[in-house]
C-alpha cells in the first residue's frame, strides 16, 4: 500500500530538520549532538542492555519503588483511561504498571518508532483488553498528541529520570506541555537524585563498556541521517560529573586529529577535542518539586528508596 503523500512530506521535512539540527551542533565552537539521536534501533537495544547492568542503579531502583509502593501509587493516580508512555523504549516499564493502574488505552511514544512497533507486537497478545498504539515523535521540542486520545483520564508516564537530559528551562517547557495536556489526570515521573561521584561514574562508564558502545553508536546514527563519515574507532567515551550543574555529562573524545565531512560541509577535530552527547541532571526533592510547581502542577506525592538514590513522583 502506498503511503499518503502528506505522511511522506512530513517524513522528508522531519529528516531535513534533523539534518540541520545535527549540522548546527557539529559546527558549533563546542561540538554537540542531541541525545535523542542515541536512540536509533541499535541504540535502543544497547540502552536496554545498560538497564540490566548492576552498576546502572536507576532502572532497578525505580522498578523496586514502583513494585513496593504500587498500592499507594494506584490510589494517588486514581482512574486511568489512557497511559501515555514518554520515551517508551521496550515498553517494559509501562507494562509493570498495567496490572495495578489498569489503563483502558496505552500510547507508547519514542524517537524510534520501528523499535516501538516490535515492542507493542509482544504486548498486544498479553493484554488484549488494552487498546495499544505507538507514535514516533521527537517530543523534546513539542509534545503533540493525536486528537483521538480522550482528554479525560490521561496519565503521563515518564520514567528513568529522562527529564534529566534537559536543561532546567527545557525541562520546565516540557513539563508545562504535559500539564496542559494531562486534563484531569497527571504525571508519574521517575527522578534520579544527586549522589556520590563513584556511584555516578560506575553507572555511566560500566566495566563491560556497554555505555561506551551506546554513546559511540550516536556517530553511526548521525552518519545515517546526514551522510557523514564518522569513524567510531577514532573516538572514545568520556564521563564527567559537573557539580556546579548537578549533572553527569557524556562526551566523545577525538583520539587523533581528524576531519569529518558530510554533503557540502565538514568539521575538523583536534586530538582531545570533545563532542558533547548527553546531560543527565540529578535533582534534590526540593529542586524537582519547584520544577513541577513552576510547570503548573499543584500537588505531588513522592516515593523513594532507602538510600535516597531515586524518587518516583505523581504530580497533578
Give the confidence band of 9 by pLDDT, cuts at 50, 70, 90. low
Which range (3-7, 73-77, 244-248) has the least confidence?
Answer: 3-7
Q: What pTM value is reported for the model?
A: 0.89
- In the chain, CATH 3.40.50.150 sits at 57-195+285-315
State the pLDDT at residue 8: 60
pLDDT at 6: 46
Matching residue, cell 549540522: 23
User: Rounded to an integer, what distance in angstroms lies between the CA atom of residue 57 and that of residue 255?
Assistant: 30
57-66: average pLDDT: 96
Q: Give me the chain's average pLDDT, please.
A: 93
- Which residue, 174, 172, 105, is CA-closest to 137? 174
User: What is the SS3 assignment for 199?
Assistant: helix
Among 290, 277, 296, 283, residue whose Cα is nearest residue 22: 277
**Residue 1: pLDDT above 50?**
no
pLDDT of the residue at 3: 46
- Can you state the angle between helices 41-50 and 113-126, rounded to 10 degrees? 60
Of 3.40.50.1580, 3.40.50.720, 3.40.50.150, 3.40.50.10800, the CATH number of 57-195+285-315 is 3.40.50.150
* pLDDT digits 0-9 by tens, 268-293: 999 999 999 999 999 999 999 999 99
User: CB-based contacts of 230: which residues, under 8 Å, 6+ apart?
Assistant: 219, 220, 222, 223, 260
19: CB partners within 8 A, 6+ apart: 225, 226
How far apart are alpha carbons 274 and 251 in whole angstroms? 6
Instruction: Report phi then psi at 112, rounded to 5.
Output: -100, 95
Q: What is the pLDDT of residues 86-137, one digit of tens each?
A: 999 889 999 999 999 999 999 999 987 888 888 898 899 999 999 999 998 8
pLDDT tens digits for 130-174?
999 999 888 888 898 988 899 999 999 999 999 999 999 999 999
Amino acid at each position: 500500500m502506498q503511503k499518503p503523500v502528506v505522511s511522506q512530506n512530513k517524513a522528508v521535512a522531519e529528516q531535513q530538520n534533523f539534518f540541520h539540527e545535527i549540522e548546527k551542533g557539529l559546527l558549533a565552537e563546542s561540538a554537540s549532538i542531541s541525545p535523542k539521536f542515541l536512540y536509533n534501533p541499535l541504540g535502543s537495544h544497547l540502552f536496554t542492555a545498560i538497564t540490566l547492568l548492576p552498576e546502572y542503579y536507576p532502572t532497578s531502583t525505580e522498578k523496586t519503588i514502583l513494585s513496593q509502593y504500587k498500592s499507594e501509587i494506584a490510589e494517588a493516580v486514581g482512574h486511568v483511561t489512557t497511559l501515555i508512555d514518554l520515551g517508551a523504549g521496550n515498553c517494559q516499564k509501562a507494562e509493570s504498571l498495567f496490572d495495578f493502574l489498569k489503563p483502558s488505552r496505552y500510547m507508547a511514544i519514542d524517537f524510534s518508532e520501528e523499535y516501538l512497533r516490535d515492542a507493542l507486537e509482544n504486548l498486544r497478545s498479553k493484554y488484549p483488553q488494552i487498546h495499544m498504539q505507538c507514535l514516533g515523535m521527537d517530543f523534546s521540542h513539542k509534545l503533540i498528541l493525536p486528537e483521538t486520545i480522550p482528554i479525560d483520564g490521561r496519565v503521563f508516564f515518564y520514567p528513568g529520570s529522562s527529564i534529566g537530559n534537559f536543561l532546567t528551562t527545557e525541562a520546565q517547557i516540557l513539563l508545562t506541555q504535559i500539564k496542559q495536556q494531562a486534563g484531569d489526570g497527571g504525571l508519574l515521573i521517575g527522578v534520579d537524585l544527586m549522589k556520590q561521584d563513584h556511584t555516578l561514574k560506575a553507572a555511566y562508564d560500566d566495566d563491560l563498556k556497554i555505555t561506551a558502545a551506546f554513546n559511540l553508536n550516536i556517530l553511526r546514527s548521525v552518519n545515517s541521517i546526514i551522510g557523514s563519515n564518522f569513524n567510531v574507532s577514532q573516538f572514545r567515551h568520556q564521563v564527567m560529573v559537573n557539580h556546579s550543574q548537578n549533572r553527569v555529562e557524556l562526551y566523545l573524545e577525538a583520539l587523533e586529529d581528524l576531519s569529518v565531512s558530510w554533503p557540502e560541509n565538514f568539521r575538523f577535530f583536534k586530538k582531545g577535542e570533545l563532542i558533547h552527547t548527553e546531560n543527565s541532571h540529578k535533582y534534590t526533592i526540593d529542586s524537582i518539586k519547584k520544577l513541577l510547581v513552576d510547570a503548573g502542577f499543584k500537588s505531588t506525592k513522592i516515593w523513594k528508596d532507602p538510600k535516597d538514590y531515586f524518587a518516583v513522583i505523581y504530580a497533578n
